[in-house]
Amino acid sequence: MNNLFPARLHVLFASNSSRALIIRRGPSKQVCSFLWDRQTDSIEVGQWLKGRIYERRSDISPDGKYFIYFAMNGKWDSETRGSWTAISKVPYIKAIELYAKGDCWEGGGLFLNKNTFWLNDRYFNNNLVLFDSKEVKRDASFVPEGNFGSECTGVYYRRLIRDGWQLEERKNVSRWKNASTFTKALVNDWQLIKLAHEEVDSPEGKGCYWDEHMLLNKQTGIEYIKDDWEWADRDGDSIAWTSNGCLYRASLQSKHKLGEEKLIHDFNHCTFQKLKAPY
């Protein structure tokens, strides 16, 4: 792994299950998927990919069984045309349904229920369906609400809103730089604030899409500015987050302070392995 930067982590929560999928990136052209059971805090490795999975164009089904993602390996003369949307079985990457893409415009999608999904592709071409599955079904008639662009924000912002985040503001900071503010209510008057950045000249070690977070108690006024939280979300009566390649959780039982931080797993020392899915 590049020693300059820790592993980058993004987490997808299943809405009707304790299952979560963790997407770990690092080095930049290697990615691995993991299953996190939020009840037991067990971590199970899925598979590695030599390429990029666009975590903000990805989703997990409500029951935690399926994973839809957009990926790119740059092999433009291959069957997938160098980029593709796939659906796999959590926590694996091996596709049960596969759509060749050929560019990095749009791609990925969202689950509408446990086995029906929206494919993020306005210019869908049936000739690019490499194979499909009877386990899941694309809803070709679904039209998503809102205008959030055609790349990562077109899936990511809709996923946030679906999962209980409130979009408070979309702000144009300067040319090629936007910032969107999302909030989510937590227990005991705590509120999680997410500032989602969209910019070309992002800070070193960040992509053109990156987030920072703040935790605020609306009753006591206590706040924590968490510039190092790469991802964060409510986990029952607690808050979970990733920072510097590690996954953490803390209780929100007190209105006066954040509970003791619990390290769930350090992903920094993971290295590429050739792993096979059991299907």
Query: Model confidence at 3, in pLDDT bands (50, 70, 90)?
Result: low
151 or 14, greater pLDDT = 14
Specify the 3-state DSSP secondary structure of 55: helix
CB 144 within 8 A of CB 118: yes
Q: What is the structure's pLDDT at 200?
A: 85
Whether the pLDDT of residue 24 is over 80: the answer is yes
Residue 217 to residue 191: CA distance in whole angstroms? 6
Structure tokens given for 272: 């590429």
Say if strands 137-138 and 116-119 run parallel, antiparallel, or are unpaired. parallel
pTM of the model: 0.95
State the Cα–Cα distance between residues 265 and 36, nearest whole angstrom: 10
* pLDDT per residue as tens digits for the range 119-164: 999 889 888 999 999 999 999 999 999 899 888 999 999 999 999 9
Percent of the chain with pLDDT over 70: 99
Q: Which of 177, 239, 184, 240 is nearest to 210 (CA)?
A: 177
pLDDT confidence tier of residue 169, bands split at 50, 70 and 90: very high
Q: Would the pLDDT of 2 be above 70?
A: no
Where b means 16+ CB within 10 Å and e means fewer, 190-216 reads bebbbbbbbbeeeeeeebebbbbbbbb
> For the chain, what is the total number of helices (H) and then of strands (E)?
1, 22
Mean local confidence (pLDDT), 249-272: 96
109-111: strand order across its sheet: 109-111, 116-119, 137-138
Q: Which residue has the higher pLDDT, 173 or 230?
A: 230
Residues near 26 by Cβ (< 8 Å), separated by ≥ 6?
A: 1, 2, 5, 6, 7, 8, 245, 268
Is residue 152 classed as helix, strand or coil in its secondary structure?
helix
Q: What is the pLDDT of residue 198?
A: 92
Strands 246-251 and 262-266: antiparallel
Q: Across residues 196-216, what is the average pLDDT?
A: 89
77-86, 198-207, 246-255: range with lowest mean pLDDT: 198-207
Beta-carbon contacts of residue 102 (< 8 Å; ≥ 6 apart): 76, 81, 82, 83, 128
173 pLDDT higher than 90: no
Q: Looking at the predicted structure, is the pLDDT value of residue 107 above 80?
A: yes
Using CA atoms, how far residue 29 sits from 2, 155, 208, 214, 244, in Å, is 11, 22, 16, 30, 18
3-class state of residue 248 by DSSP: strand
Among 27-41, 57-71, 165-179, 186-200, whose mean pLDDT is lowest?
Answer: 165-179
DSSP letter at 102 equals S
Mean pLDDT, the chain, whole residue set: 95
